[in-house]
Amino acid sequence: APAPIVQAAPSGVYFDHLVVIMMENEGISNICGGNPPPCNGANTPYLSSLANSYGISQQDLALINTSWPDYYGIIGASIFGCPSNCYPAPGSVTATNLVDRFEAAGVTWKGYFENQPPTAGCATSDSEPYTYIHNGFVLFQDITSNAARCNNLVRANPSGCSVTDCALVNDLNSGSAPNFMWLSPSDCDDMRGYSGCSNGCTSDGSASCMKAGDNYLKSLVPNILSSTTFQSGRSALFVTFDEGIGYCPLNGSSENCVYAVWAGPTAKTSYSSPTKYTHYSLTKTIEVNWNLASLTSNDAGATAMSEFFGTSVQSPDFSITANPATMSTTPGSSTTSTITLTSLGGFTGTISLSAISSPSGPSTSLNPSSVSLSSGSSSSSTLTVTTQSSTPTGTYTITVTGSSGSTSHSKNLSLTVSSSSDFSISANPSSIHLSPGSSGTSMITLTSLNSFSGTIGLSAAISPSGPSASLSPSNISLASGSSGTSTLTITTQSSTPTGTYTITVTGTSGSLSHSISLTLTVSSVGDFSISANPSSLSMTRSSSTTSQITLTSLNGFSGTVNLSVTDSSSRLQS
């Protein structure tokens, strides 16, 4: 079957993948033994070392001193009826949330919850050590009432796991990890405690719970940081707590300061900051990263945690697009296109717009001629192109330019002015990506211009040769003012060389002929990863030891992998 055309997630400002881990009920002074740096908790050596290695906030505040609002407050940028009603019924809030923003922007997401009863689903009641009040997603009606969204909420530790929270770790090593990943540990692992826990965490706030939670993260976080997603891409890990103890060692105040650490390849190392943040700052950071619009005044007014990221951060910028980018008209008439400006990398400012035609002839106007953008927002202007009765027929390039200070971007549009009947041809998408031995499609659209009617024959050619192309149907009959479509199918063989190909689709009707060019990229992406657990072995003479070697398919790889062992000393047998 033809490969589906999937909207790609936008590249993030700070990261392309984010894992958030929310722990429970300990303030920064509990975890770090005071105000970091350094972080030196008596019961939390691993969390302390993570903070000292990467970036920690000295003043990150909980939203309120009770659990669930600190979870759903991040997802919805509001604690809604709290404090009068902090625990409404699951699925009762109809507000727009981050999941709505993610799916509209092509950002993939998934939630992982230790010990939730279903393997996948919206778990809206307690089943200790799982509790639904540590799942911020299930407050929202458009999540709990949507089966596909509920299926994105999965048990982090299904039966048969060989590593801590294998559902999360396996996804991170799959080559297709979601862009946004949320993890809520169980009450045995998150330091909250439960009487049935076997790891010693039976009492909230106890040293044994802190030690158990620290050991849990010690078994999990290294697997996250060493995963394929973190080793091969721009990824970040954020570890924090829902609420603290009403104390902030930075200033000795009653502010509810919590441990909040950014780690991973895009995070700064050995970094700390006294800047005041809240859980809404995490929401804001996510929105700025993927150019998502704010949900409420809370996240709109929050400060993004941009200072914790290094040189891979995208500079503030904007993009400019046009719809349609191909226009047609007759002498003495006009046509329009919508010009859209989008904030990138937290850009904020006013953009001035101008348009010019080459060659000269048609006149242009933009309404409005300037637009103002806030971080993550978009705005549009209407381009109107007008011809006179004396405007020569032919093809014109309309260049729309947006400028803000020293930043300037342009978009070229095509205008066809014709006085006789004609037709236009377009393709969507105009770029196709395939692997050898697969196929993909593009929709070819033919449109009647100036009362054209007739039959148009379609053909396709590929340069250089290799892939094959077919059109269905290969003939389109148009009535005056109508449009018709044909499906272009591109097929590669397993032997098709990788590289870039040009596909030219030509429509012909009598003496009229028009072509459109598409780009085909053929690339082999199938691969596999190999890991060892443990990766360091020790033994005495005349004995034996073992290590588990794990091979994982990446990007659709399937096949047989031959294994061999080499001993540099030539004195061991394996």
| Residues 6 or more apart whose Cβ sits within 8 Å of residue 149 | 99, 122, 137, 142, 143
Q: DSSP string spanning 147-169? A: HHHHTTEEESS-TT-SSTTHHHH
CA dist 353 and 368 (Å) reads: 8
C-beta neighbour count of 204 within 10 angstroms: 14
Q: Which region among 7-11, 87-91, 463-467, 524-528 has the lowest average model confidence (pLDDT)?
A: 7-11
> Stretch 249-257: mean pLDDT, rounded?
94
Q: Is the separation of the CB atoms in 477 and 455 below 8 Å?
A: yes
Q: Which residue has the tokens 């060659």?
A: 359
Name the strands in the sheet holding 499-509, side by side, starting at the edge strand that comes first in the sequence.
431-434, 512-522, 499-509, 454-463, 475-478
CA dist 100 and 52 (Å) reads: 35
C-beta neighbour count of 548 within 10 angstroms: 9
Q: Is the separation of the CB atoms in 41 and 26 below 8 Å?
A: no
C-beta neighbour count of 303 within 10 angstroms: 14
Amino acid at 519: T
- Of all residues in the chain, what percent carry a pLDDT higher than 90? 74
Q: Which region among 149-163, 215-229, 294-308, 312-326 has the lowest average model confidence (pLDDT)?
A: 312-326
Please tell me if the domain spanning 17-308 has the same topology as the one spanning 317-417: no
pLDDT grade, residue 333 (50/70/90)? confident
Give tens-digit pLDDT for 280-290.
999 999 999 99
Residue 384 pLDDT > 90: yes
- Of all residues in the chain, what percent carry a pLDDT higher than 70? 93
Give tens-digit pLDDT for 497-522.
988 999 999 999 988 899 999 999 88
Give tens-digit pLDDT for 163-177.
999 999 999 999 899
pLDDT grade, residue 570 (50/70/90)? low
Alpha-helical (H) ranges within 193-250 are 207-225, 228-232
pTM score, two decimals? 0.60
| CATH class of the domain whose range is 17-308 | alpha beta
Q: Which residue has the tokens 């290969």?
A: 474
In 3D, which of 428, 426, 470 has the Cα closest to residue 447?
Answer: 426
> Stretch 357-363: mean pLDDT, rounded?
95
Give tens-digit pLDDT for 57-80.
999 999 999 999 999 999 999 999
Domain 317-417, CATH among 2.60.40.10, 2.40.30.170, 3.40.50.720, 3.40.190.10: 2.60.40.10
Average pLDDT of the chain to the nearest whole number: 91
Amino acid at 428: N
CA dist 424 and 225 (Å) reads: 52
Give tens-digit pLDDT for 32-55.
999 999 999 999 999 999 999 999
> Stretch 407-420: mean pLDDT, rounded?
89
pLDDT at 363: 96
Written as six digits, the tokens of 440 are 């993909």
Written as six digits, the tokens of 18 are 């984010």
Q: Domain residues of the chain, as ranges? A: 17-308, 317-417, 422-522
pLDDT at 565: 82
pLDDT at 4: 28
CA dist 281 and 289 (Å) reads: 12
Determine whether domain 422-522 maps to CATH 2.60.40.10.
Answer: yes
Give tens-digit pLDDT for 74-132.
999 999 989 999 999 999 999 999 999 999 999 999 999 999 999 999 999 999 999 99
CA dist 229 and 321 (Å) reads: 31
Residue 472 pLDDT > 80: yes
CA dist 150 and 145 (Å) reads: 8
